[in-house]
Amino acid sequence: AIIRRSDYRAPDWLVPDLALDFDLDAAHTRVHATLSVARNGAHGRPLRLDGDGLVPLLVRVDGQELTPEGWSMEGGALIIPLTGDAHSVETLVDIAPASNSKLMGLYASGGLLCTQCEAEGFRRITFFPDRPDVLSRYHVRMTADKALYPVLLSNGDPVGQGEGADGRHWAEWRDPFPKPCYLFALVAGDLACNADSFVTMSGREVRLGIWVCEADLPRTAHAMKALKDSMAWDERVYGREYDLDVFNIVAVADFNFGAMENKGLNIFNSRYILADPETATDMDYDGVEGVVAHEYFHNWSGNRVTCRDWFQLSLKEGFTVFRDQNFSADMGSHAVKRIEDVRILRAAQFQEDAGPLAHPIRPESYMEISNFYTSTVYNKGAEIIRMMALMLGPERFRAGADLYFDRHDGQAATCEDFVRAMEEGGAIDLTQFRRWYEQAGTPRVAARLAHDPVTGAATLTLAQAVPPTPGQPDKQPMVIPLRTALFDPATGSHSGEQLLMLTQAEQSFTFEGFAQSPLLSINRGFSSPVIIESERSQADLAFLSAHDDDPFARYEAMQQLMVNVLVGTVAGQPVDESTVIAAIRQTATNPALDPAFIAEAIRLPAEAYLGDQMAMVDPDAIHAARDALQQRIGVELEPLWRDIHARTQANGFALSPAAKGARALRNVALTYLVASGAEDGPAIAFTQFDRADNMTERQSALATLASGRSNEREAALDIFYHRYSDDPLVLDKWFQTQALAFHPDTVDLVEELGRHKAFTLSNPNRVRALYGAFAANQWAFHHASGKGYRLVADCIMALDRLNPQTAARLAPPLGRWKRFDASRAAMMRAELERILAQPGLSKDVTEQASKSLE
Ligand code: ARG
Ligand code: ZN
């Protein structure tokens, strides 16, 4: 069945209050729910309570048990005809957390019991109108074995606890803020707490707790710091204060995605909580900080103001990603954070927007909402908010955000509500801008600069086109704000950046006063999520890579230099590598630049990104070209790489931005040094691997070795495995590093790793570490034999029986067949067809695979 945005109807029944009583047990949990229901408007429709796999053991209305004639079941839902306008409805069900392999609803992870309800998991716990526009006050009571589950947590504030019979105990929690059921959470288990506190701007003290198993307590400090920093940041930047007396976070090992913003009780994938230098890379540390912030920020953008229906998902996710991005930028380097965010956007979202699964940030229809927790909704959604913030400027954007939060506090709102608040609070007309919510596809902007030496005028002509996407053959022009500067070659500088507003299909802008033709620096800071097509010479790009004062534009010029050479090589054209090498040398030796920035700028673009620049992707040619250029850069600048690698050797571990930057640069230098083929390269990498006092250097040395064929390769992988075999998060890195390796045998190795005793389909992190990473390794996944496609399809089919949501996330790489040669395309399609032929295939995978074939 297809759900459409246009079909929205207000709920027939509201549930102002809900009491839940859990008798917890891994094999059999009894859930007794008492709903106060109220008819919403004048209608005669029955009460419909969603359920998924539930059997009603008892149904009572106003205290009276109904006979089986008093209710009926309709595709999992419980239907109860009611006569009055307000009733008390009780149900009792029995669920089995231990056998819940979908990790939606109430499930067991390790010895814990925990929940995940977004988007539609609550209906696997109890009968309820499982839609985000039904907001209720929750009162939760839990009873459980005290030895197995000494800690009992839920949303809101604890209001009571006590001992029961037979070694059991109970706890009660009450959440005063009405919330949709997707924000319900419960955790029971043997947990230790990193306890701290935060005093809010109005002077209230909030008790903070990060709950993990005892052994992991020492790894929670970074998450706690991130939480307190986030709370202070939201007060300072958005004026938003925390609203309950307690804020708890729990880390669990088995989790379908990153984390969940349940009111007052965030539940996290442990990879986004646990960090220490021995086991976490700098990227992991940043991931912890960013996700802790993201979930905390949802307390306002998501919980206090929630979504009316799931088509509005970007209302909370796009905005919250935008907020966490800015927070992380404030905690570290704005330039580097922007580069990282754009890299993610281009790698994931641009690919999605160019393929069969393209959809607007506010989709029009879906079969399975879980499939729409996408890079488009999240990351492109954040870019749309970022453009509004740019057009409005900080004060007016804040006024718009204030109006949005104040006007919709306690409500289930829409994207349209947000845009209207920005229009009114920010005094701007966003009529045409709304197309960003409607149209899918990445706009392409062709930029042509013409110069008249007589008048000194430079004319910039911009033409935009939004490519057709599924269901949207024709597109209207978008509002595209482009931060632009023109560099005068005579002075080597520009006379001020301008914000050009491209709103028509084609538009020209004229600039005066250039004796010589200027150089174009456009979409600075990546002000719009578009693809710029401009013919800039390698010399111009080299100039900008050395002189542009916008760090993103400078990075971009450097990357474009490399892309041009690599794309030219693949196309069999003569290329000039020396300009690239000179630019790398200049950037790498510029003492004025932040090492973290240098590391970003001088790194070669990913193979997949290069593929995206070509109509037809030739994975082997791309790999060969990139490998050759990497080697050439390694050889030509070998002394520089040796020097950087030696110079960035730290004396003791620190997590400061400077120390992180040094490690990032050190690792790029190591990659080039080993790529040079220098005889001692693998030994230097092995020494770094062996002696490192932190995971960033250890893992990156391992990755470098894993992509080569030295004797050190096997030794390092072996040592790593044995050293960390009882740490699941680090073992994930062992799988991931091999799946991402540039090695001719990666596909066979991944097949073997799939049978390794430490591999399991029941842990989503492990599955992503092996198969998710492998499918992102363009050269290996697109092995001409088609083996890579078969491996991933086999995994999807096996995993679908356990965990359809995570299985469906592996499908999109197979859907990119249009971009590959006929032989590969046929094999990719055949795998999608094989998947679709599997009996009992989930809705999740069916939707992804069938759309991918269209
Ligand atoms: N709201 C969570 C977050 O972004 C993610 C929930 C994902 N749900 C899903 N069904 N994929 O913070
Ligand atoms: Zn989110």
Give the position, in ligand 1's atom list, of the atom nearest the Cα of 120: 10
pLDDT for 90-103, tens place per residue?
A: 999 999 999 999 99
Please classify residue 83 by burial: count the beta carbons closer than 10 Å to its beta carbon, then call 0-12 exposed, 13-18 middle and 19+ buried.
exposed
State the Cα–Cα distance between residues 827 and 814, nearest whole angstrom. Answer: 9
Average pLDDT over residues 226-231: 99
Residue 69 appears among annotated catalytic residues: no
Helix (H, G, I), strand (E, B) or coil at 225: helix
Write out the H or E segment, with its range, that includes residue 493. strand 493-494
pLDDT for 750-768, tens place per residue?
A: 999 999 999 999 999 999 9
Q: How many Cβ atoms from other residues are within 10 Å of residue 600's Cβ?
A: 26
Q: Tell me the CA–centroid distance for residue 221 and ligand 2, in Å.
A: 22
Question: Which residue's C-alpha comes closest to atom 12 of ligand 1?
Answer: 260
Q: What was the pLDDT predicted at 49? A: 99
Query: For all residues of the chain together, what is the average pLDDT?
Result: 98
pLDDT for 46-57, tens place per residue?
A: 999 999 999 999
Q: How many Cβ atoms from other residues are within 10 Å of residue 4's Cβ?
A: 11
Pocket of ligand 1, candidates 315, 373, 805: which has the most ligand atoms within 8 Å of its Cβ, to mutate?
373
pLDDT for 687-714, tens place per residue?
A: 999 999 999 999 999 999 999 999 999 9
Pairing mode of beta strands 29-39, 86-95:
antiparallel
Give the position, in ligand 1's atom list, of the atom nearest the Cα of 295: 12
Pocket of ligand 1, candidates 103, 116, 260: which has the most ligand atoms within 8 Å of its Cβ, to mutate?
260
Question: Which residue's C-alpha comes closest to atom 2 of ligand 1?
Answer: 260
Q: How confident is the model at residue 644 (pLDDT cuts 50, 70, 90)?
A: very high
**Which ligand sits nearest to residue 315's alpha carbon?**
2
Q: What was the pLDDT predicted at 523? A: 98
pLDDT for 247-288, tens place per residue?
A: 999 999 999 999 999 999 999 999 999 999 999 999 999 999
Average pLDDT over residues 528-554: 97
Q: What is the dihedral of CA 253, 764, 279, 661, to 10 degrees?
A: -130
Question: Which residue's C-alpha comes closest to atom 3 of ligand 1?
Answer: 260
Q: What was the pLDDT predicted at 62? A: 98
Q: Tell me the CA–centroid distance for residue 134 and ligand 2, in Å.
A: 20
Average pLDDT over residues 2-19: 98
Q: Tell me the CA–centroid distance for residue 747 and ligand 1, in Å.
A: 31
**Pocket of ligand 1 contains residue 294 by CB under 6 Å:** yes
Q: What was the pLDDT predicted at 655? A: 97
State the Cα–Cα distance between residues 113 and 98, nearest whole angstrom. Answer: 8
Give the position, in ligand 1's atom list, of the atom nearest the Cα of 291: 12
Average pLDDT over residues 678-685: 98
Q: Tell me the CA–centroid distance for residue 491 and ligand 1, in Å.
A: 50
Which of 90, 172, 295, 368 is catalytic? The answer is 295
Q: What was the pLDDT predicted at 609? A: 98
What is the ipTM metric for this complex?
0.98
**Which ligand sits nearest to residue 183's alpha carbon?**
1
Write out the H or E segment, with its range, that includes residue 163. strand 157-163
Q: What was the pLDDT predicted at 606? A: 98
Whole-prediction pTM: 0.99
Q: What was the pLDDT predicted at 771? A: 99
**Which ligand sits nearest to residue 268's alpha carbon?**
1
pLDDT for 153-170, tens place per residue?
A: 999 999 999 999 999 999
Encoded tokens for 97 = 């957390």
Question: Which residue's C-alpha comes closest to atom 1 of ligand 1?
Answer: 260
Q: How confident is the model at residue 302 (pLDDT cuts 50, 70, 90)?
A: very high
